[in-house]
Chain A
Amino acid sequence: MLDLFNINDLAPLFDVLSHLIPQTGVGGGVEARESVDFAAVVKFTLIFLAGVGTVFGVGLAIAAKRFAVKIDPRVEQVKEHLAHAHCGACGYAGCEQYAEAVVKNPEVPPNLCIPAGARGAEAVALITGKKADFKERDLSRVFCQGGLSNSSKRSIYEGVKDCRAAVLAGGGDKSCAYGCLGYGTCVKVCPFDAIHMGDNGLPVVDEVKCTGCRKCESACPKKVIEVLPASKAVIVACHSRDKGVDTRKHCQVGCIACGICVKTCPYEAVSIEKNLSRIDINRCRVCGLCTTKCPTKAIVDKLPARPKAFVTERCIGCQSCKKICPVDAPFGEPKKRHEVDQNRCIGCGICTARCPVQAIDGTFNAQAVFAAAAAKKAKAAA
């Protein structure tokens, strides 16, 4: 065995060599010399470079063969279709780990990469031979409207501008113990640049960029942010469990648990729990009636537009819409084509869902209702 400490003792052996071949000077042979044997230098250079290249090439090739790791080519393919945000929304440590799991384990569903969306899920399903169930897109929603202009502060906070730090100082500077502190921790943690602070000191979610990865939800120390399916666009934008009187003292737009929304909701989706109105997203049909009735405007409608309903010629004049409409917008004689009063209609879509012949079009839910009816028909026929 070669003893490293004695390697200098071998020097005499190489001294012999150095007598035979001219030894280069200090500085690694960059000193000027009287004459250079040009042919020999070129020859040795070429031989040496070729030799080193060959040795390394062969060595690496052997190493690659000898230490080859069998990687399923599908893992690489799957990886290409993931979002590469390493957000952890799938429940794995990173994109690579999920790609490996989804290929190897038949139990792992292909639609877990939320940022990659429906298209990514389809691609992954195709590669792994699994069935891609359509998973609805999730969006991050801010459950507080108490910005600088319509809520009060109980103290002045001059520490680190981070909600997680501010909450350590006695729960933050807001009077309302449930409200958004507005120091932008969610903005910092968002890997997709989808949250920005608005003028009112509240975070605004960019619905195009948001992928529902839940990073903001877990980072928010006040739990003001919740991630909900994108279609559930009507939310009670308040988390205050204080009594109505106290909520009102702290904030102009808080939920005071008056219960009007509970009475208004035609689907019994709203309930009051611990001084706070909650919407059951499984029952809510996003009609937005509660939004119009809420006295403090604590319930918000996040739908970008509510187009009004109109009646098509399929109408059979059954008067179902007239009976169910909360604002008495449809009118017309029985067994004749009805009309919808465009001034009264609020675009809630209740009549669209109720109509037995799908004759009401134009509302936000019309396409979904028609698709569901067509699917039902096809199932009945088969």
Chain B
Amino acid sequence: MKMDFTKLFELIIAASIINNFVFTRFLGLCIFFGVSKRMETAVGMSITFTSVMMVSASVSWFVFNYLMIPLDITFLKIIIFIGIVAALVQASDTIMRKVAPDLYYKLGIYLALISTNCIILAVPLINAGEHYSFLESIAFGFGSGIGFALALIIMASIREKLELADVPAPFRGMPIAFVVTGLIALAFTGFSGLITI
């Protein structure tokens, strides 16, 4: 049991920092650049993202392991996982609107963005490919969400400062954001090899 927890912890650290989806795998850049303009939206997006990621990782684990492997149709996983994520997002949108309208007004707008995100698809796919157990899948989803949150919050705090900086005219806006992302990514490569899984 103790071994399990070290493994889970390693997974979380690996997914959030060492193999950070944004900075080392360069996935989910669309949302990353879209919502990192302000800290408030970045935090809202991070919370929604992490929770949806964990739920979708666990649901797709069940579907993959108890339906798709026995039926020998694992080649369908991309289509099925997209369907699962879309259905989950739609369902949570409907349920949240009724159960927690305040939360819906705060975070609801991010839900629609999430359903088309590639990280949210990558996590179940990697879980399936690596044959993670249920707990490991959830840990991997959680770690990825934390990693994305970390990336968003770092970027949002830099970009809020960047608003006031004297940036050369050709670099204003998106170009400087890309340059900054590249620099952070460079820094994140320093974590590589910390844990090997």
A interface residue numbers (CB < 8 A to B): 4-5, 7-8, 14, 17-18, 21-24, 26-30, 40-41, 44-45, 48-49, 52-53, 56, 59-60, 63-64, 67-69, 96, 160-162, 165
Q: A340 vs B125: C-alpha distance in the bound complex, in angstroms?
A: 85
Residue B128 lies at the interface, judged by CB distance under 8 Å to chain A:
yes
List 12 extra interface pairs beyond A26-B129, A45-B73, A49-B76, CB under 8 A. Answer: A7-B135, A8-B133, A14-B66, A17-B70, A22-B72, A28-B125, A48-B71, A48-B73, A60-B94, A69-B98, A69-B101, A96-B105
CB of B74 within 8 A of CB of A45, answer no
Q: A95 vs B74: C-alpha distance in the bound complex, in angstroms?
A: 46
Residue among B69, B83, B128, B166 facing the most chain A CB atoms (10 A cut-off): B69
CB of B135 within 8 A of CB of A5, answer yes
Interface on chain A toward B: helix, strand, loop, or mixed SS? helix
Residue B97 lies at the interface, judged by CB distance under 8 Å to chain A:
yes
Q: A45 vs B71: C-alpha distance in the bound complex, in angstroms?
A: 8
CB of B94 within 8 A of CB of A26, answer no
CB of B129 within 8 A of CB of A28, answer yes
Residue B38 lies at the interface, judged by CB distance under 8 Å to chain A:
no
Number of interchain pairs (Cβ within 8 Å): 87
Chain A residues closer than 8 Å to B70, beta-carbon distance: 17-18, 21
Minimum C-beta distance from A60 to chain B (A)? 6
What mask results when residues 162 to 184 of chain B are scored 1 for a CB within 8 Å of chain A, else 0?
A: 00111000000000000000000
Q: A264 vs B133: C-alpha distance in the bound complex, in angstroms?
A: 88
Residue B99 lies at the interface, judged by CB distance under 8 Å to chain A:
yes
Which residue of chain B lies nearest to A42 when distances are taken between CB atoms in the complex? B73
Minimum C-beta distance from B118 to chain A (A)? 17
Which residue of chain B lies nearest to A65 when distances are taken between CB atoms in the complex? B94
CB of B77 within 8 A of CB of A28, answer yes
The contact size tier of chain B is 35 or more
Which residue of chain A lies nearest to B71 when distances are taken between CB atoms in the complex? A44
Q: A49 vs B68: C-alpha distance in the bound complex, in angstroms?
A: 11
B interface residue numbers (CB < 8 A to A): 1, 63-77, 79-80, 83-84, 87, 90-91, 94-95, 97-99, 101, 105, 125, 128-129, 131, 133-135, 164-166
CB of A28 within 8 A of CB of B90, answer no
Given A18-B70, A48-B67, A56-B87, A29 contacting B75 (CB threshold 8 A): yes
Given A7-B134, A21-B70, A60 contacting B75 (CB threshold 8 A): no
Minimum C-beta distance from B44 to chain A (A)? 15
Minimum C-beta distance from B185 to chain A (A)? 27
Chain A residues closer than 8 Å to B91, beta-carbon distance: 59-60, 63
CB of A4 within 8 A of CB of B73, answer no
Chain A residues closer than 8 Å to B135, beta-carbon distance: 4-5, 7
Chain A residues closer than 8 Å to B71, beta-carbon distance: 21, 44, 48
CB of B98 within 8 A of CB of A56, answer no
Minimum C-beta distance from A330 to chain B (A)? 57
Chain A residues closer than 8 Å to B129, beta-carbon distance: 26-28
Minimum C-beta distance from B73 to chain A (A)? 5
Q: A8 vs B87: C-alpha distance in the bound complex, in angstroms?
A: 27
Q: A68 vs B125: C-alpha distance in the bound complex, in angstroms?
A: 33
CB of A52 within 8 A of CB of B80, answer yes
Q: A162 vs B131: C-alpha distance in the bound complex, in angstroms?
A: 54
Q: A26 vs B129: C-alpha distance in the bound complex, in angstroms?
A: 7
Minimum C-beta distance from A375 to chain B (A)? 45
CB of A30 within 8 A of CB of B164, answer no
CB of B131 within 8 A of CB of A52, answer no
